[in-house]
Homo-oligomer: A and B are copies of this chain.
Amino acid sequence: MAKKVGFQGVPGAYSEIAARTFFGPSVNTVAFKTFAEVFNAVSKGVVNSGILPLENSLAGSIHQNYDLLLKHKVAIIGEIKLRVSHNLIAHPQAKLSDILHIYSHPQALAQCSLFIKKMRQSEEVPYFDTAGSAQFVKETNLKQNAAIASAQAAKLYGLKILKAGIEDDKKNYTRFAVINKKPLAAKGNAARNKISLVFALKNIPGGLHKALGAFASRDIDLLKIESRPLAGSPWKYLFYLDVKGSLGDEPCRKALKHLSEIAKFQRILGCYPIARD
């Protein structure tokens, strides 16, 4: 039976493209309305895996998914970096000069601001979702409405790409985490060279410096740090770290043991192969 992978959004969403790129084109994708529903479906075994955006190279981290990683008993088993290319898509008979309204997610609208500025007769209209805006344009069936979404969304909803690659900055990537109910088995074929973890510090002076020192002193590279509010403790934080290394490596195991002297709480979110750029 084909693997079932949950994603947030409607068919044609960038998350669904990421799922097909990671698992292959024949994977069975399942659309959910919210990120939380994807996490629930994975932790209850309704789907085999979930795919969730963690950060965009222009807009930054998607914090809700960091919070949900902590809330649910799931593990990161992989990641994928997807180049985000936006397209202006519309009715098959529409011309650029017909377009009066451009629908899309506010982030996609912001990422295409130079193109939109040139479309003088058009106004932008924020919509909850990129692929959802394509679906909406299809439903209205009006030549004056366009959406900003993926090429896949254009194909899926029988719309025409009026202009491809309209994003201001071509270095527009989104990194997705792939989550399973259980972590990858300790021994496997894949090279695990990235560890994601989360911790909260004890109340000690220079705590974060000491925590990072557990890794830096063992030449373990820090790939990313993200801070989030610690619930119930205003102006205290949780730290999410990505480091280069494997739970199978002696220095990493020692660094994590060292960290436990400084952290009042810590949890491994996953050890998995780092995505190619």
User: Interface of A with B (CB < 8 Å)?
Assistant: 55-60, 63, 169, 171, 173, 175, 205-206, 208-210, 212-213, 215-216, 219, 221-229, 231-235, 237, 277
Q: Considering the chains assembled together, what is the distance between the CA atoms of A221 and B215 in angstroms?
A: 21
| Docked pose: A43 CA to B221 CA in angstroms | 39
Contacts of A173 in B (CB 8 A): 234
Chain B residue numbers with a CB within 8 Å of A226 are: 227
CB distance from A66 to the nearest CB of B (A): 9
- Identical chains in the assembly: 2
A-B contact pairs, 10 of them (CB 8 A): A59-B229, A173-B234, A205-B219, A206-B221, A208-B225, A209-B213, A209-B222, A210-B216, A225-B237, A234-B277
Closest-by-CB residue of B relative to A234 is: B57
Asked if B57 and A235 sit within 8 Å, CB to CB, the answer is yes
Asked whether B209 lies within 8 Å of A216 as measured between CB atoms, the reply is yes
Contact flag A227-B224 (CB < 8 Å), given A212-B208, A219-B205, A234-B57: yes
- A205 and B220 alpha carbons, distance in the complex (Å): 9
CB contacts (< 8 Å) of A212 on chain B: these are 206, 208-209, 212
Q: Apart from A57-B234, A60-B229, list 5 A-B contacts with CB within 8 A.
A: A57-B229, A58-B231, A60-B63, A60-B228, A223-B235
Residue of B nearest to A229 (CB): B60
Residues in B with CB closer than 8 Å to A219 are 205-206
Kindly provide the distance from the CB of A252 to the nearest chain B CB, expressed in whole angstroms.
15
Bound-complex Cα distance A165 to B156 (A)? 47
Q: Which 9 A-B pairs have the closest CB atoms?
A: A206-B216, A57-B234, A209-B216, A209-B212, A173-B234, A60-B229, A171-B234, A60-B63, A60-B228
Q: A226-B227, A227-B226 are in contact. Are A232 and B60 (CB under 8 A)?
A: no
Q: Could you say which residues of chain B place their CB within 8 Å of the CB of A59?
A: 229
Q: How far is the CA of A59 from the CA of B231 in the complex (A)?
A: 9
Nearest neighbor of A222 in chain B, beta-carbon distance: B208
Residue of B nearest to A227 (CB): B225
**Bound form: Cα–Cα A229–B231 in Å:** 25
Give the shortest distance, in Å, between A262 (CB) and chain B (any CB).
12
